[in-house]
């Protein structure tokens, strides 16, 4: 794992956007796995700026959604779908045929996960996976526990995940999560891990120890051969 300590959120966002741009120039049709939330927000803003300057860079880019809150309307303002459409898909002009997405309220959540896994197997692997560090060490919605699931699956949401800023204000919280599995994430050719945000100091410290445990799913990134981990300096103070 290559760790870079960034002086602030802006530096982290600019650096991660440069990493994505560099890979896109090598492989224009790469498959980008996109996380949601505060950590990658700045990265997506930087990519949107680059798309205005050089839209041709993104004309073949494909995107797959990392995870989704289950049991809420597709374009609810707190959904991952709404976030990605607003922050990434529309600014980069990603057409529907270049986007793989969990539906947030499917009739059969397990079948929905199978659909995503099947499509990823056909069109993958992921070239770049953008990740953030969960407040309890979760990776996507792979929660801490005795066993971690390899493929896309329906996730039971921990109390910590239900306190996530995206959904904390909802009257009726999501009943489950839909997420790519650990094997699918760790099969990515390159991973960009963004460690940022208030309340993350303790879990960031544990993650940076490098001890691999299912109690901290993100720690499995230490076993991956190509991870760029960007850490906001304020978490170390």
Residue 220 a catalytic site member: no
Options 46, 81, 138, 153, the catalytic residue: 138
Catalytic position from the list 23, 74, 103, 136: 136
Residue 172 appears among annotated catalytic residues: no
Alpha carbons 235 and 204: distance in angstroms, whole number: 7
Active site residue 143: yes
Q: Is 67 one of the annotated active-site residues of the chain? A: yes
Catalytic residue among 41, 46, 127, 143: 143
Q: Which of 41, 46, 67, 68 is catalytic?
A: 67
- Which residues does the annotation mark as catalytic? 67, 136, 138, 143
């Amino acid at each position: 794992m290559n760790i870079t300590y960034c002086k602030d959120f802006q530096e982290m966002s600019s650096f991660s956007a440069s990493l994505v741009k560099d890979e896109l120039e090598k492989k224009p049709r790469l498959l980008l796995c996109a996380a949601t939330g505060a950590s990658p927000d700045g990265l997506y803003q930087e990519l949107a700026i680059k798309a205005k300057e050089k839209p041709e860079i993104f004309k073949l880019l494909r995107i797959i959604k990392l995870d989704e809150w289950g049991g809420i309307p597709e374009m609810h303002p707190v959904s991952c779908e709404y976030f990605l459409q607003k922050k990434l898909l529309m600014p980069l002009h990603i057409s529907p045929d270049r986007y793989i997405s969990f539906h947030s309220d499917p009739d059969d959540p397990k079948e929905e996960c199978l659909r995503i896994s099947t499509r990823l197997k056909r069109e993958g692997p992921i070239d770049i996976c953008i990740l953030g560090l969960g407040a309890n060490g979760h990776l996507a919605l792979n929660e801490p526990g005795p066993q971690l699931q390899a493929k896309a699956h329906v996730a039971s949401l921990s109390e910590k995940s239900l306190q996530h800023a995206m959904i904390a204000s909802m009257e009726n919280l999501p009943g489950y999560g839909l997420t790519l599995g650990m094997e699918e994430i760790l099969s990515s050719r390159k991973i960009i891990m963004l460690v940022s945000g208030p309340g993350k100091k303790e879990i960031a410290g544990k993650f940076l120890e490098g001890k691999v445990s299912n109690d901290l799913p993100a720690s499995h990134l230490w076993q991956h051969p190509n991870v760029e981990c960007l850490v906001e300096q304020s978490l170390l103070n």
